[in-house]
């Protein structure tokens, strides 16, 4: 598909690194399947992949909270 951000590049199926920030936690999820713009590098996650990333984030944040005093 055509990139929405730069309106020049075409997206290609690949992987990206997603960074999520919440409270005091920065979570980096690597090798996430995504459509990546060959021009500006913007990435687009499918609904399915977004949900999986959010699930990983929730689990990690719960673990972080549980392990803190
Ligand atoms: Zn682009």
Secondary structure percentages of the chain, helix, strand, coil, to 5: 30, 40, 30
pLDDT in tens, 17-67: 999 988 788 999 999 999 999 999 999 999 999 999 999 988 888 877 777
Ligand 1 ion: nearby residues, β-carbon < 5 Å: 3, 5-6, 9, 37, 39-40, 42
User: How far apart (Å, rounded) are the C-alpha atoms in residues 43 and 32?
Assistant: 10
Distance 6 CA to ligand 1 centre (A): 4
Domain membership of residue 60 (yes or no) is yes
Distance 34 CA to ligand 1 centre (A): 13
Q: For residue 68, what pLDDT band results from cuts at 50, 70 and 90? A: low
| Total number of domains in the chain | 1
CATH of the domain at 33: 3.10.20
- pTM for this prediction: 0.77
Among the listed residues 13, 68, 63, 66, the one whose alpha carbon sits nearest the alpha carbon of residue 38: 13
């Amino acid at each position: 598909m055509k990139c929405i951000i730069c309106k020049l590049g075409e997206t290609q199926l690949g992987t990206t690194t997603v960074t999520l920030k919440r409270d005091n936690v920065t979570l980096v999820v690597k090798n996430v399947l995504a459509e990546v713009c060959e021009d500006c590098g913007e990435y687009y996650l499918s609904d399915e992949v977004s949900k999986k990333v959010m699930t990983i984030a929730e689990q990690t944040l719960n673990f972080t909270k549980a392990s803190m005093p």
